[in-house]
Amino acid sequence: MGKTDVWQGTLALMILKTLETLGPQHGYGIARRIEQTSGHKLLVNYGTLYPALLKLEQEGYIKSSWGVSDNNRKAKFYQLTRAGKKQVEREAREWNETTAILARFLSPDEA
Amino acid sequence: MRPLRGWVRRFAALFRRTRRDGEFSAELDAHLRAHIDDNVRAGMTVEQARRHALITLGGLDMTKETYRDQRGIPAFERWTRELRHASGRLRRSPGFTSAAVLSLALAIGANASVFTVVERVVINPLPYPASDRLVMLDFSMPSRNIPSGFNSMTAREYFFYADHARTIDSLAAYRWEDRTLTGETAERIRIARTTPSLATVLRTPPEIGTWLPNAQRRGAAPSAVLSHGLWVRRYGADPGVVGRTVVLNGVATTVAGVMPASFVFPDAGVEMWINEPFATSNDDDYSYTGVARLRDGASLAEFRAEINQLARSLAPQAPGEGYEAIFSTALTLQDFTVGQVATALWFLLGAAGVVLLVACANIANLFLVRSDARQREIAVRRALGAGTSGVAGYFLAESALLSIAGGALGLAAAGAGVRLLVASGPALLPRLNEIRLTPIHAAFVLGLVALATLAFGLIPLARIRSSSASLHDSSRSGVGAARNRARHVLMGAQVAFALVLLVASGLLVRSFVKLRALDLGFDPVSRLTFQVGLPPSSYPDRDRIVRGHQAILARVGALPGVRSASIVNCVPISGRGFCGGAPLFAEGEPPPRNDTVRPIVASRPVAASFFETMGMPLILGRGITQADIDGNSLVTVINDTLMRTAFRSDNPLGKRIRLSPHRANGAPLWFTIIGVVHATPTIALAEPRPAPQMYLPMFAGRDVFPRVDVMTYVLQTSTPPLGLAAAVRAAVKDIDPNLALAQMRTMQDVVDAAAAPRAFTMVLIAVAASAALLLGIVGIYGVMSYAVSQRTSEIGVRLALGAEPGAVMRMVVRQGGVVALGGIGAGLAAALAGGRAIASLLYGISPRDPQVFVVMTVTLLAIALVACWLPARRAAAIDPITALRME
């Protein structure tokens, strides 16, 4: 199985979870982290990453500010807001429920 | 609400886009550098690292585009872009743009202004609560030859109806009177003498103070309520006027209150309401007008039926007075107030609508022509992947801009139009002074604008969709038959609409001309008229009244520039009922079985030389002389209507007649007929049946009917009549400083004022017709010019193959002429079918008057052919070589 683009709808949760784990992070860092976490099975398309970040910011789940990266370069850092933290919990719970239900369908011997 | 918050931010992001774009570039740049750093750390050379990072990052511009879409509102941005481009395109074709905007502004302005007036005057004319329950009492007496429209009743009727009618909540009666208000200056004002129930019927409380008291204490001063206008004009809007005493015809009257400015009843001319009680005894005095409020659940028909029944049961109380001949023709106050004007205004609104249709057809045609010329551009857009919505955006953006510009200009024009209508409208239009352009009317304009946008924008779109426009055929200069058909239908429709309006305006002009050519029975030129009322306080008896009038007449008759002077109770076309009318009796005829079949005759007491002064030629006999006045002669001059009514073909001279109130000491008072004159209009200009009239010496002894304290003077002048006004006022003031003159005007003004409502309608319809004609000409010319330009090469080939230029011209003119003829046919059919709508506005001609139809059809056809001929001439002048090279 080659690398797949990240699925629509799950990217927002991945970004939020990444920011929850790592704290403030810039776009490049988020992308690398998602790729690493997926064991390099996912490829984050930058054309979808930045619009997704912008959408989360517009909705008030994350906020951004300019800062300096580890390499001493200027970069825009994103971090969770309070609403964002709640949103991670809620979405994670919903996702777990969904996958649990789907799992039952996909393993018929447990029925 | 997260999504809402998102949208708010996206909307905010529409602004300061350059800065935001720069910021995103910086962020992407940082991203790229971080990636390169990583790659270098992983062991690549700097060059390899950069290449790898750029490849992974993918299309930079595409990312930016997606980012922008998420940041802002893409649809909005696309629209602003479309609008920006469209405005650029429109600026580049000023001819098209100004033609479209002006057509639209004209049509929208006309519609909005007429709609504003219609809304105020016709739809919503009465400022009283639940005004749809208000009815005016109106009667007909078929057996006395009186049609409906006789809105007078006796005081006996009023009290009886008020006590017994069950279908109404309340009833009020009033009558107009002119009285002299004295104080620092004497002033003649119009008042309504009314029952106190008027405020109950109309449910309108006073602005300050109280309304007229219901019961007047015996011997107490009468009460008056002032109009807002009089209060401001004469008393400087001083609230302290309430409770003060004013002197009216020499009688001290207490001011009870002031009515609000919106209270204009029975009309805007009334400046005061007083509660002088009515005398119940005089059954001949049909001088009170009634207005009632229907009880909830009662209908107008029930009210009429009840009044008919009550009038019958009144007959035994006053036998021989003819109450059994009365039939109620009561009508709603709204119909009464706006009546004829409503018809004219609705018609006008229809005409404005037709102008809008013509303008729409015009603009649609312009758009069609434009869309044909833009085929190639559209095809390129399509080829580059624009969907239907993209192409729709192209046209809708243009039409939206044009409609907005047209709407804004139209709104400005409507503001001016309303002012013009108000300024030139007949004075009797109710609530005219309140007419303003309000948000409702602006919303009406916006609705028109929205409709116009959709209509014009979608027409070319429909054509684009139906014809599979593509790059390869868009460069050809042939024009599809379907495309031509659409343009021709629009052009034909314009011709048809224009013809309908032309015929309507022709009919109105012709009936106006007929009306003005009407034999009035008198000569209105060089005649000045004014009214003088002698107040009973200084002129308590008939003797003093007679001497007062004689003195004034002698003084004004001797003024330089006055050729002759006389007096009458009401001049022709005075607009106020019969002005003294009563049943006629002729001597020697058998006593009638039933008094109710006697014709009602208008009674006109006059001074000497009345007929010379008015320019009324005598048909038979002689006029009333000073000797008749001085000698109290019982003589009379009748008009030809009365002669025909009472004497058929017999010679009436020497016969004796009287009206029912003509009695002295119980014995009948007979007047000998000494002359006959032509009938003059009594109330309005075009009366279907002129009223029978008798003229008698104004001071003819005994109990004169009608009263002579308020009289109208007529002066025949050798200089311009109004130039004498100051001298006349000074002369009257010199005789009695407490006298005031009212209604000083020329007889020509009286006639013009009576014709004014018709003139108003006629001028406006003529303006509408001219606008439609102008738009129609532009439309025909535009379509034919375009057709010729599209066929340039074809015509070139024809000419090259030896066709005569004349033949080419004929071909083009024939093509346009056929369409114009089709339009004329449709227009004629519509005008013939719609004739009934205009019939009530016409005078003396049929709505199918052949002369008007022929003249208008020929005129329109000639103009249409000229509009075709100009492009045809250009076609014939085409140089075949140039035309073929263009291909």
pLDDT digits (tens, 9 = 90+) for B703-739: 556 778 888 999 999 999 999 999 999 999 899 888 8
Give yes or no for residue B828 having a pLDDT over 80: yes
- d(C-alpha B105, C-alpha B408), whole Å: 8
Q: What is the pLDDT of residues B283-340, one digit of tens each?
A: 667 788 999 999 999 999 999 999 999 999 988 887 767 788 889 999 998 888 777 6
Give yes or no for residue B83 having a pLDDT over 70: yes
Give bridge partners of residue A65 from the DSSP assignment: A77
pLDDT at A6: 57
User: What is the number of other CB atoms lying within 10 angstroms of the CB of residue B357?
Assistant: 17
Residue B174 is encoded by which pair of tokens? 């009033």
Shortest distance, CA B4 to any CA of chain A (angstroms): 8
Shortest distance, CA A108 to any CA of chain B (angstroms): 39
- d(C-alpha B884, C-alpha B886), whole Å: 5
* Percent of chain B residues topping a pLDDT of 90: 25
Among partner residues A29, A51, A75, which is closest to B67 by beta-carbon distance?
A51
- d(C-alpha B635, C-alpha B612), whole Å: 17
Among partner residues B3, B10, B30, which is closest to A75 by beta-carbon distance?
B30
pLDDT at B465: 57
Residue whose C-alpha is closest to residue A67's, from A57, A58, A77: A77
> Residues with Cβ < 8 Å from B202, sequence gap 6 or more?
B128, B134, B172, B263, B265, B291, B293
Residues B424-429, mean pLDDT to the nearest whole number = 61
pLDDT at B887: 55
pLDDT at B478: 46
Q: Are B652 and B588 in contact (CB under 8 A)?
A: no
> Across all residues in chain B, what is the average pLDDT?
83
- Count A/B contacts: CB-CB distance under 8 Å: 67
Among partner residues A28, A47, A55, which is closest to B31 by beta-carbon distance?
A28
Q: Which residue has the tokens 């008057």?
A: B849
- d(C-alpha B583, C-alpha B431), whole Å: 37
Amino acid code (one letter) for B581: G
Which of chain A's residues have a Cβ under 8 Å away from the Cβ of B38?
A: 32
> Residues with Cβ < 8 Å from B8, sequence gap 6 or more?
none
User: What is the number of other CB atoms lying within 10 angstroms of the CB of residue B506?
Assistant: 23
Residues B161-187, mean pLDDT to the nearest whole number = 89
| pLDDT-based confidence at residue B477 (cuts at 50, 70, 90) | very low
pLDDT at B301: 94
Which of chain A's residues have a Cβ under 8 Å away from the Cβ of B37?
A: 71, 73
pLDDT at B617: 93
* Percent of chain B residues topping a pLDDT of 70: 91
Residues B496-509, mean pLDDT to the nearest whole number = 91
Give yes or no for residue B19 having a pLDDT over 60: yes
Q: What is the pLDDT of residues B575-609, one digit of tens each?
A: 666 677 777 888 877 665 555 567 778 889 899 99
Helix, strand, coil percentages (3-state) for chain A, rounded to 5, are 60, 20, 25
Residue B439 is encoded by which pair of tokens? 């948000």
Give yes or no for residue B431 having a pLDDT over 70: no
Give yes or no for residue A1 having a pLDDT over 80: no
The side-by-side arrangement of strands in the sheet containing A74-80 is A25-26, A74-80, A62-68
Shortest distance, CA A40 to any CA of chain B (angstroms): 14
Q: Do B67 and A58 touch (CB under 8 A)?
A: no
Q: What is the end-to-end Cα distance of chain B in Å, rounded?
A: 63
Interface test with B, best of A25, A36, A50 (most B CBs within 10 A): A50
- d(C-alpha B144, C-alpha B147), whole Å: 9
User: What is the number of other CB atoms lying within 10 angstroms of the CB of residue B88?
Assistant: 9
- d(C-alpha B692, C-alpha B520), whole Å: 14
Shortest distance, CA B64 to any CA of chain A (angstroms): 8
- Across chain B, how many H-helices and E-strands are there? 26, 26
- d(C-alpha A71, C-alpha A93), whole Å: 36
Q: What is the end-to-end Cα distance of chain A in Å, rounded?
A: 30
- d(C-alpha B370, C-alpha B392), whole Å: 14
Give yes or no for residue B57 having a pLDDT over 90: no
| pLDDT-based confidence at residue B432 (cuts at 50, 70, 90) | low
Pick the residue from chain A with its C-alpha nearest to B34. Answer: A28
Which of chain A's residues have a Cβ under 8 Å away from the Cβ of B10?
A: 58
pLDDT at B428: 52
3-state secondary structure of B93: coil
Q: Do B27 and A50 touch (CB under 8 A)?
A: yes
Q: What is the pLDDT of residues B559-574, one digit of tens each?
A: 999 999 999 988 888 7
Q: What is the pLDDT of residues B776-820, one digit of tens each?
A: 888 888 888 878 877 888 888 888 888 888 888 888 889 889 999
Residues B407-414, mean pLDDT to the nearest whole number = 87
Shortest distance, CA A37 to any CA of chain B (angstroms): 17
Give yes or no for residue B554 having a pLDDT over 50: yes
> Residues with Cβ < 8 Å from B696, sequence gap 6 or more?
B603, B604, B605, B606, B624, B635, B636, B637, B671
Which residues on chain B place their C-beta less than 8 Å from a C-beta of chain A? 2-3, 5-6, 9-10, 24, 26-28, 30-31, 33-35, 37-38, 57-59, 62-63, 66-67, 69-71
3-state secondary structure of B487: helix
Write out residues 69-88 of A within 8 Å (CB-CB) of B: 69, 71, 73-76
CA angle B388, B391, B397 (to 5 degrees): 130
- d(C-alpha B289, C-alpha B606), whole Å: 26
Interface test with A, best of B20, B21, B27, B41 (most A CBs within 10 A): B27
| pLDDT-based confidence at residue B661 (cuts at 50, 70, 90) | confident
CA distances from B103 to B402, B403, B407 (A): 10, 10, 11
